[in-house]
Amino acid sequence: MKKRSALFVVIVHVLLLHAVYAQTHSFKDVPKRIILNLTASPESSMAVTWRTSEEFKASEVQYAVSTQWTDFKKSVTKVNVTTEKFAINDHQFVYHYSGVLNGLKPGTTYVYRVGHDSVWSEWNQFKTAGKDDAPFKFVYFGDPQNDIKEHVSRVFREAYKLAPDACFWLTAGDLAAYPTDDLWGELFDAAGFIYRVTPSVMVPGNHDRSVVMVDGKETRLKTTDPIWKAHFTLPENGIAGLEETSYYVDYQGVRFLMLNTNDKLQEQAEWMEKLLSKNPNKWTIVALHYPFYNTGSDHDTKAVRIALLPIIDKYNVDLVLQGHDHTYARTFKLRDGRVVPVDGKGTVYVVSVSGPKAYALNTKYKDLMAKIGDKISSFQVISVEANKLSFTTYTAAGAVYDSFELRK
């Protein structure tokens, strides 16, 4: 009898301890939706964002220069984070954290983890950009948008298989059909660990805007939904009011202008003019959602063409990466709406779609197109060297669909 009551006391004790531990450590609330974003200084800093269900005031990022063994843990630097309480529906909140790792060494591999108290993510690795011009590659995706878990997962994963050494991923808007927590959850699940090890930059599309009901009708505002800033920590070096949605990044000899084509087009045109008139980089790439030469359905994104195309032409932007039309389209080198010689001054424009939604082809600009097609989920691997830019489009099945080179 004595033995049985002693055993009972032990069991109760263990259960109590377990309950207390669970309460104080919330061990199931591990950091989720962890993502790296490039900053405006990719050679010396990196941004990381994640979230938990409860608020943890002790949340931080820890990082160190990577080592071959686990001894990097002896020289860890801690970064305090900004916390945002975010409503995912009318009665439920989550907590998003963002931290920027500054003062990093160029061209160096770092390990990092995020978390709170004793609850941590795994250690992940990334590499900073070099401080000088040097060859690199990145991956560009058109709209994921629809059936993300079901269909975009394989596209992301194939891209990682074929270009695991991409320095970053660039997405040209319409990340999800609606800015809802469930659909954004699909996006992060589709990318899996890749968002934790390959930094991202992205611009918003029309589907990334806030949705409100006006007179019982679903209406999209011009503003990017708050879900964007909760999940990402992107540069704020663009014009006022479009922080983290319109910005630029110089990466090893390429100036990337990332535009928000939902709003303030004229202001962005003036901002582009300033940036391109004093551009020390050899190459210039523009990413935006609405295409200049439409190839999808009855789309005609005229306002973007009127506001921005003269600047693209004036400063001979090399490449424009776009979304929205849910087709594949790659122009010849163009200037002022006309095909120019391959070795002349001009711009190549590409539309692609990573998701499964397809529009019927609009052939209005077919004479400007070097390659055009529909029902092709794809991703693009772009390699930049001093005098050559190599562009390859792969289908979701991993086959080469299109390729070209630009030389200068």
Binding site for Fe ion (CB under 5 A): 174, 205-206, 324
Largest CA distance in the chain: 96
Task: Render 53-104 in DSSP notation, one character per residue.
Answer: SS--TT-EEEEEE--SSGGGGGG-EEEE-EEEEEESSSS-EEEEEEEEE-SP
User: From the CB of 208, what's the least distance to Fe ion, in Å?
Assistant: 9
What residues have CB less than 8 Å from 47, skipping those under 6 apart? 36, 37, 38, 39, 98, 99, 100, 101, 233, 234
User: From the CB of 192, what's the least distance to Fe ion, in Å?
Assistant: 24
User: Which two tokens mark 230?
Assistant: 């909760």
How many other CB atoms are found less than 10 A from the CB of residue 281?
15
Nearer to Fe ion, 128 or 294 (CB): 294
Nearer to Fe ion, 206 or 316 (CB): 206
Nearer to Fe ion, 50 or 328 (CB): 328
Nearer to Fe ion, 282 or 375 (CB): 375
User: From the CB of 77, what's the least distance to Fe ion, in Å?
Assistant: 40
What region does 244 belong to: left with phi over 0, alpha with psi -120 to 50, or beta?
Answer: left
Give the residue from 49, 45, 47, 22 showing the smallest Cα distance to 34.
49
Q: How far apart are CA 261 and CA 341, in angstroms?
A: 29
Nearer to Fe ion, 209 or 229 (CB): 209
User: From the CB of 235, what's the least distance to Fe ion, in Å?
Assistant: 22
User: From the CB of 218, what's the least distance to Fe ion, in Å?
Assistant: 15
Q: How far apart are CA 374 and CA 395, in angstroms?
A: 12
Looking at beta carbons, which residue is closest to Fe ion?
Answer: 324
Nearer to Fe ion, 230 or 288 (CB): 288
User: From the CB of 209, what's the least distance to Fe ion, in Å?
Assistant: 10
